A and B are shown apart, each in its own frame.
Chain A
Amino acid sequence: MHFMLLFSRQGKLRLQKWYCAYPEKQKKKTTRELIATVLSRKAKMCSFLEWKDLKIVYKRYASLYFCCAIDSDDNELLTLEIIHRYVELLDKYFGSVCELDIIFNFEKAFFMLDELLLGGEIQETEQEERAEGHHGAGPAPGGGDASGLL
């Protein structure tokens, strides 16, 4: 995986994780372009699109878009499930996770992501172990509105 972006329906970037080095300027440009492209797509359209020499796999959970860039020969469907697994992890940790949790506890969201993916490759696909790793690291803040991402 080359990078992962989380952004809201309004086009606000909520989380970004880059697994390949890009100059800051290019990151900004990429982000801007991708947000515009993904947001302009309709709900029934397919979740994959070609973008330069990469493939973009995205999925919307409530008001939040999760968007990953993978190599063109990577498995698209499974990338969707990586996203899902991440959302499940967040949900498990925060308890009915919502966009606000990620805004206010972005560092926790990063920790979770690091547990799931290391250097852009899936590290641990098994759920219990990851979530447990971080319980006790701090109180799980319940917060935001009741409607979670899941």
Chain B
Amino acid sequence: MSRNPVHVNLAMQCIANIGSKDMAEAFGQEIPRLLVSADAIDVVKQSAALCLLRLFRTSPEVIPSGEWTSRIIHLLNDQHMGVVTAAVSLIEALVRHSSEEYRGCVSLAVSRLSRIVTSSYQDLQDYTYYFVPAPWLSVKLLRLLQNYPPPDDPGVRGRLNECLETILNKAQEPPKSKKVQHSNAKNAVLMEAISLIIHSDSEPQLLVRACNQLGQFLTHRETNLRYLALESMCLLATSEFSHEAVKKHQETVINALKTERDVSVRQRAVDLLYAMCDRTNAETIVQEMLNYLESADYSIREEMVLKVAILAEKYAMDYTWYVDVILNLIRIAGDYVSEEVWYRVIQIVVNREDVQGYAAKTVFEALQAPACHENMVKVGGYILGEFGNLIAGDARSAPAVQFKLLHSKYHLCSAPTRALLLSTYVKYINLFPEIKSQIQDVLHSDNNLRSADAELQQRASEYLSLSVHATTDVLATVLEEMPPFPERESSILAILKKKSGRIPDISKTPRAANPHASERPQGLGTSDTPTLLSTAGAAVQAPAAAAPTNTGLLVDVLGDLGGGGTSTAAAPPATNGAHPASPAGGDYGAAAAAVHDQQAAVKKFICKNNGVLFENDILQIGIKSEYRLNLGRVGIFFGNKTPMALTGFSTSVTLPDGLTNRLTVQAKPVDDNIDGGAQVQQTVNFELIEEYVGMPDLSVSFMYSGVQQKLHLKLPVTPNKFIEPTEMNSEAFFARWKNLSGPAQEAQKIFKAKLPMDASLGGRLAGFGMQLLEGVDPNPENFVCAGILHGRGVQVGSLLRLEPNKQAQMYRLTIRSSKEKTSQVLCDLLVDQF
């Protein structure tokens, strides 16, 4: 190896430019050594870092681990800014590969960033770019930090927040130069800081400031900045802390939709409107999007149609509005309305009686337009065939009129639509016997009976003979109204996701995280009636898994029409995609779905100690737990459901941020191998210090047939488990009850019953951990309980009273405890259980 740095550098330039696998093998040893060697000059180190990065991308195994890790991380402290800049690129790639190993870089990156941010532009002379201190390095450090959650160490965290605040403050200072380069570099750092703030999603104050800053950019005269502001705001809208702040800019965004001259900026505005939409503004936003759709660019129409359809469905307070929106969609942009959209509106109309009459009337009116889109004819044909009788009383839409109207469109339509219309006609024979002969004439015509299209021919002849031979009873049975469709997720959302990966997941609206969600007015979407998108949260989060149902949909909607009354079995929603054979790529969706299921499952454990926590095709996880005073022992059983061994099995039980000082956890080791069909047990001990909100996390990872599998679950260890029941008589109970009358000592919730109000109630309540006291409350309908919550060194007496109201199907739950907060914590836990 040459000692001349120019030669070395030249060689590395060459390696980095070619970067083949052979080179990675040949130089994988040398280059790391150059990178950290004491006598290599800065320029060589710089090249070495980037050269190594290039080789690492070619074959990740070139990177040495162990002691090298910390030496590489410490390059962040290098005196030469150029070396640091190059090294951060390398470190970021390594962090993405194995983030745990490089966790140490967080604090170093924060302090480096802080030094740059607080320096004035004169300090870093060579690395100041148009009066901005080291913009490239700053941006890279900010990006590096986005690979980790906010730092745990309060000192580091505070320092990072200071940096971010300084960057936000600097944005308000007057520019030091009029050049576009100055503002670009400055805003590049600012936007990256905002990305980090959004990524951390933990500092409400910073999020709101970021949002205000972006709000300023929305009206900036630079198109580039408007574009970026819209894009970042889209992410901000999904955070519970800033969702409301984003909504303040609704007007501006709508305005952007109307006035921006650049289609890519308008597209961003559409994305943002979609992301900021919730129940309060859905009507306005959907209307604006519809308005815009009339003049929208062809390239984005299809995506917009999907978005409008989803928003209308998700936030519909009133299904007549939903039907109007979708019919408008078809009218305005019929060509871009995909099949899924109109299948969906039919599903909803069929499943919801209250909207059927309205839908029939509306489509009837829409069909009267001289030219209407074929999709409109399809929807109209289907709905009138099912519910035409609901509007037949009106002379203007009498059976014969309806039939004539539909048939006037018949000859302009393609074969599949005609086939659908034929089915409508045969349904009319059942609904309106008075026009039977007219319909038979149509079926009998050569156009249909001898159609060149086999499907049409078959339908015409079969329907005809059905109408001739079958008795009215048989007709009525065969042509009965469609049964409701099985509830399932909206396939539209899946398609939208497939179309563009950058759509923020509106299924996790900020509401979900809001503890007061249950008190807000709820739309139809989340009420207990059969619902649309909202109940299907699992599949919404798992686009990959939901996709296969499209074909099932087709069978459902058209199958019954063609065949008559038999209800076709729906394709089962493929939520359990973690099938052994599925490729690694598909597992993401499945895992997301599984985790969602688990979140629902974990709630059941609040009132019971044993059961199955999680199950998929590979693994079953069961829980057996025992609690005594402030100690708990949880046995976790991992069962391998496959015939093959799971290798590299490891688990970890960790406490999320808020729990660390409130609960201790100690997990016994577990075998790293589970043979096929075998079960292993892991014991985890807990000790309660004081009450908390949340649950410990359980992460499981293992290799199954060469593919890494990871699960992130919640362990159902909740504070109520540490309650010991106490007996007391009526007198004692009410004496204590009166004693605990401070406003902070009491928590009360009024909520609707989700489960039947019957005898099982007492059993469930007893599972919560308190003693159910019989004959204590003067009203026999009411339940009262007493217990003591044991923490380390503290004991909190708690009393509970549950008053059911059977007429209203509501409960009032009151909990009083001797320690503040405990009541609220217990109350929140119990609310979901009835």
Contacts and interface: CB of A to CB of B under 8 A. Distances in A.
* Interaction A to B: yes
Interface of A: 41-42, 44-50, 53, 72-73, 75-78, 80-81, 84-85, 114, 118-126, 128-129
A129 B562 CA distance: 77
Interface stretch (B11-19, B387-395, B687-695, B808-816): B11-19
A8 to B, nearest CB: 22
A103 B82 CA distance: 30
Nearest to B90: A121
B139 interface: yes
3 smallest A-B Cβ distances: which pairs? A119-B54, A77-B188, A118-B50
Contacts of B265: 45-46
Contact of B223 (A46, A80, A85): A46
Given A45-B262, A75-B192, A77-B185, A119 B502 contact: no
Contact of A44 (B185, B223, B501): B223
A50 B264 contact: yes
Interface residues of B, number: 45
A124 B46 contact: yes
10 contacts: A46-B227, A46-B262, A46-B265, A47-B223, A48-B224, A77-B185, A77-B228, A114-B17, A125-B136, A126-B126
Given A44-B223, A123-B82, A81 B135 contact: yes
B47 interface: yes
B459 interface: no
A73 B223 CA distance: 19
B188 A119 contact: no
B465 interface: no
Interface string B1-26: 00000000000010011010000000
Contact of A121 (B50, B126, B129): B50
B226 interface: yes
Interface in B262-278: 262, 264-265
A124 B51 contact: no
A76 B265 CA distance: 14
Interface in B13-66: 13, 16-17, 19, 43, 46-47, 50-51, 53-54, 57
Interface in B187-214: 187-188, 191-192, 195
B647 interface: no
B202 to A, nearest CB: 20
Given A46-B265, A76-B188, A125-B85, 5 more contacts: A81-B184, A122-B89, A125-B127, A125-B135, A128-B126
A44 B264 CA distance: 12
Interface of B: 13, 16-17, 19, 43, 46-47, 50-51, 53-54, 57, 81-82, 85-86, 89, 126-127, 129, 134-137, 139, 143, 181, 184-185, 187-188, 191-192, 195, 223-224, 226-228, 261-262, 264-265, 501-502
A123 B53 contact: no
Nearest to B138: A78
B227 A81 contact: no
A88 to B, nearest CB: 9
Contact of B16 (A47, A118, A125): A118
Nearest to A19: B54
A129 B224 CA distance: 31
B783 to A, nearest CB: 53
A61 to B, nearest CB: 12
A15 to B, nearest CB: 15
A118 B264 CA distance: 31
B560 to A, nearest CB: 40
B51 A46 contact: no
B89 A121 contact: yes
B228 A49 contact: no
Given A119-B54, A125-B127, A76 B262 contact: no
A125 B502 contact: no
A46 B264 contact: yes
B299 to A, nearest CB: 11
B138 to A, nearest CB: 9
A123 B135 contact: no
A129 B247 CA distance: 48
A77 B226 CA distance: 12
B46 A77 contact: no
A118 B135 contact: no
A80 B184 CA distance: 8
A91 to B, nearest CB: 13
Nearest to B183: A77
Given A121-B86, A121-B89, A75 B188 contact: yes
B261 A78 contact: no
A85 B129 CA distance: 9
Contacts of A76: 188, 224, 228
A47 B89 CA distance: 24
Given A114-B13, A125-B82, A126-B127, A47 B224 contact: yes
A121 B86 CA distance: 8
Contacts of B57: 119
A139 to B, nearest CB: 20
B262 to A, nearest CB: 4
A78 B185 contact: yes
A77 B85 contact: no
Contacts of A47: 223-224
B223 A78 contact: no
A146 to B, nearest CB: 23
Contacts of B184: 77-78, 80-81, 84
A124 B224 contact: no
A120 to B, nearest CB: 8
A121 B129 CA distance: 17
B188 A78 contact: yes
Contacts of A122: 85-86, 89, 136
A47 to B, nearest CB: 5
B224 A78 contact: no
Contact of A123 (B17, B50, B137, B224): B50
A89 B700 CA distance: 52
A53 B501 contact: yes
B261 A44 contact: yes
A100 to B, nearest CB: 25
Given A123-B46, A123-B82, A126-B126, A78 B135 contact: yes
A123 B47 contact: yes
Nearest to A72: B502
A45 B264 contact: yes
A118 B47 CA distance: 7
B264 A49 contact: yes
A78 B139 contact: yes
A81 B139 CA distance: 12
Contacts of B139: 75, 78
A124 to B, nearest CB: 5
Contacts of A80: 184, 224
A31 B181 CA distance: 27
B127 A48 contact: no
A77 B86 contact: no
B658 to A, nearest CB: 29
A53 B498 CA distance: 12
Among A42, A50, A126, the one with the most B-chain Cβ atoms within 10 Å of its Cβ is A126
Nearest to A88: B181
Given A84-B181, A119-B19, A126 B82 contact: yes
Contacts of B192: 75, 78
Given A46-B264, A121-B89, A122-B89, A81 B224 contact: no
Among A48, A78, A128, the one with the most B-chain Cβ atoms within 10 Å of its Cβ is A78
Among A75, A77, A81, A128, the one with the most B-chain Cβ atoms within 10 Å of its Cβ is A77
Contacts of B86: 118, 121-124
B46 A75 contact: no
Among A42, A121, A128, the one with the most B-chain Cβ atoms within 10 Å of its Cβ is A121
B758 to A, nearest CB: 53
Contacts of B228: 48, 76-77
